[in-house]
Amino acid sequence: MTNAMIRVKNVTKSYSRGGETLKVLNGLNLEMDEGRFYALMGPSGSGKTTLLNLVGGLDHPDSGDLFVAGANLSDLDGAELARWRADNVGFVFQGFNLIPVLSARENVELPLSLTGLSRAERKKHAEYALELVGLKDRMNHRPKQLSGGQEQRVAIARALATDPKVLLADEPTGDLDRKSAEQVLDLLVRLNQEFKKTILMVTHDPHAADRAQSIVHLEKGELGRIEHNAPAAAK
């Protein structure tokens, strides 16, 4: 047995649109080790977001199995899947998806509402996560009062608040300038190295992909080559 954190077995996924069926994933097989940082690359429409959503239990495959963080996702019903997600995965999106009327701290506290933590503990956890991403001094700011890079770091703090094993990031640096992108990548590398998070990050940017330990290529719903980078350079 390997210590795979993510195991994708014979997964197929199609979408129907206007009477036509679009095959997106075609019997995909893939294993990702615990504690490793993976970049997922591939042309637009190759199924990267689809795969990320399946791994995070946001969607179901047509056939095949996903084993993630010790669970076979096909065994879980809707409520169990929501619980599993809350305990095991954190999501980071290109567009940050912060709630505009809430402060940074309140945004980070949101996923903690699904846990049994008291209000005071939730606040403490949120503040710790914001400290980790270097934004404790901004915790009372609303998203509009932050730069894009800061917003994304708040979103990462939100993804971390429940201390998930797996972080799934869909083009997290896609909307950021170079310097902010670099800060977000530095943070992801640190979360991988220091906190042993397993990370799967979709990116179009070869420079961003180079910060990961392995680069997985997806082509037309099938696995292409996998490259392994030299040990990630945490700055």
Ligand X SMILES: Nc1ncnc2c1ncn2[C@@H]1O[C@H](COP(=O)(O)OP(=O)(O)OP(=O)(O)O)[C@@H](O)[C@H]1O
What whole-number distance in Å separates Cα of residue 110 and Cα of residue 182? 26
**Sheet bearing 37-41, strands edge to edge:** 89-93, 166-170, 198-202, 37-41, 214-219, 222-228
Nearer residue to ligand X within complex by CB, 50 or 183? 50
Shortest distance in whole angstroms from residue 20 CB to ligand X: 10
Draw the binding track, 3-42, toward ligand X (x: CB under 6 A; -: no contact). Answer: ------------x-x----x-x-----------------x
Draw the binding track, 37-76, toward ligand X (x: CB under 6 A; -: no contact). Answer: -----x-xxxxxxx--------------------------
Nearer residue to ligand X within complex by CB, 45 or 235? 45
List the single partner that 50 binds among ligand X, Mg ion, none, CB under 5 to 8 Å by kind. Answer: ligand X
Q: Does 49 bind Mg ion (CB under 5 A)?
A: yes
* Residue from 31, 166, 24 nearest 92 by CA: 166
What whole-number distance in Å separates Cα of residue 235 and Cα of residue 220? 35
In one-letter notation, the amino acid at residue 98 is L
Per-residue tokens: 39: 């970049």
* Residue from 177, 234, 178, 183 nearest 211 by CA: 234
Shortest distance in whole angstroms from residue 201 CB to Mg ion: 12
- For residues 191 and 145, is the Cβ–Cβ distance under 8 A? no
Binding region for Mg ion (CB under 5 A): 48-49
Where does this chain bind ligand X (CB under 6 A)? 15, 17, 22, 24, 42, 44-50
